[in-house]
Structure 1
Amino acid sequence: MDNGASSYCRFLKGEKDAIVEIVSEYNNGLVLFLNSITGDICLSEELAEDIFCELLLTKPKYNGKSSFKTWLYAIARFHAYRLLKRRKRFVNSPVDELYELADKENLENSYIKNEQKIQLHRALGKINPEYSQVLYLTYFEGFSNSEAAKILDKNNRQIENLIYRAKQALKAQLEKEGFVYEKL
């Protein structure tokens, strides 16, 4: 069992502190993943809280067929799309405002590196949401293609095709903005 699964198992057995371990381990990554779906960081934070509350209150069954992280992210994806379906639209918050705020707080010696990250995230926000989600899951969160397939409800071949098209779209978007990212 991975760390999340063992923590969840301990929580189900009555150890209340184990849920704190799960939240601290997965909260940031989950919020960023949800943000790739919703486009609203505040909404993503609320959704992540709701998901952790669901774990706390309803204690859904984890069967161990996938990693705990994959299972948790699949639940998160389901909740995000259900919420968006209820709202009948995507909520678009101007991500530029968040980056401008971050720019003011950066130290001078890391400014260039952070600016490149900002450009990358902006470009991710401009490509097809399905592309940005698959890139986020596989490159930023480190999920395998099969785990990403489970989260996104696709098969492995579809994920491979999505990753290829996503990388091409991201590269084209970055080049359009005058930025060349060497690792694509």
Structure 2
Amino acid sequence: MDNGESSYRRFLAGDDSGMVEIVREFRDGLMLYLRSYTNDINAAEDCVQDTFIRLAVKKPKFKGKSSFKTWLYTIGRNIAVDHQRRIIRHKGVPLSECQELADEADLEESYLVTEQKIKLRHALCRLREEYQQVLYLTYFEGFSNAETAQITGRSLKQVENLLYNARKSLRTELEKEGFSYENL
């Protein structure tokens, strides 16, 4: 599969199995990424569902200016941002609260195989939101700095600076726990 683009084109042509392939391929990674925006695994699940519903119902045009995955994650980020705006407007829930849910632990354990990576994920959770986002997109999802900039709506220089500072903060967090980051 060429990063989901051919599956999406098949779906647009009437083959529903294309959407099934897209959901299977991108669901878990998109959910973990959107969790950094919502700080709530349940809200992230809702945003992921809304992302795929938007693809299925509105059928936005993929112009090919970026990879399909970058385009999809950008749609997901926009939905998560809108979701957070609605929550703030209606409830005033702080974004910086990091909630540990059983569902999240199960998802992380199945997605991030080793115990060391799970500890790393928890250390990421304690970082600033913007640090979490750029680290997750760059290292867990494998996006380039340019793609990360496009997804997050920042300039390439901002992303590079954020990555530098995020790595420094993550190293500090990991050292507090006696974690050996050289083994990553």
TM beyond 0.5 = yes
- Relative to structure 1, the CA distance from residue 95 to residue 2 in structure 2 (aligned partners, 3 Å threshold; closer, same or farther) is same
Partner of 2:153: 153
Partner of 1:70: 70
Distance 1:98 1:84 in 2: 20
Partner of 1:95: 100
Distance 2:79 2:121 in 1: 23
Residue 183 (structure 1) shift: 5.6
Distance 1:141 1:67 in 2: 13
Alignment of 1:1-184 (within 5 A): 2-88=2-88, 89=93, 90=95, 92=97, 94-95=99-100, 97=102, 113-114=114-115, 116-182=116-182
Residue 97 (structure 1) shift: 4.6
- Relative to structure 1, the CA distance from residue 123 to residue 26 in structure 2 (aligned partners, 3 Å threshold; closer, same or farther) is same
Residue 120 (structure 1) shift: 1.0
Q: Tell me, which stretches of 5 or more residues in structure 1 are unaligned?
A: none
Amino acid at match of 2:14: G
Write out per-residue CA displacement over residues 49-99 of structure 1, whole angstroms, 9 at most, x where no aligned residue: 111011111101111100000000001111101110111132846326557
- Relative to structure 1, the CA distance from residue 99 to residue 176 in structure 2 (aligned partners, 3 Å threshold; closer, same or farther) is farther
Write out per-residue CA displacement over residues 104-126 of structure 1, whole angstroms, 9 at most, x where no aligned residue: x99xxxx9x41x22321111011
Q: Please state whether the residue corresponding to 2:181 is helix, strand or coil.
A: coil
What RMSD over aligned residues (CA atoms) do the two structures have, in Å? 2.5
Q: Tell me, which stretches of 5 or more residues in structure 2 are unaligned?
A: none
Write out per-residue CA displacement over residues 131-184 of structure 1, whole angstroms, 9 at most, x where no aligned residue: 011000000000011100000011111111111000000001111222231167
- What TM-score comes out, normalization by structure 1 length? 0.87
Whether contact under 8 Å (1:38, 1:92) holds in the other structure is no
Identity %: 49
Distance 1:145 1:34 in 2: 18
Residue 3 (structure 1) shift: 3.6
Distance 1:102 1:79 in 2: 21
Q: Greater Rg, structure 1 or structure 2?
A: 1
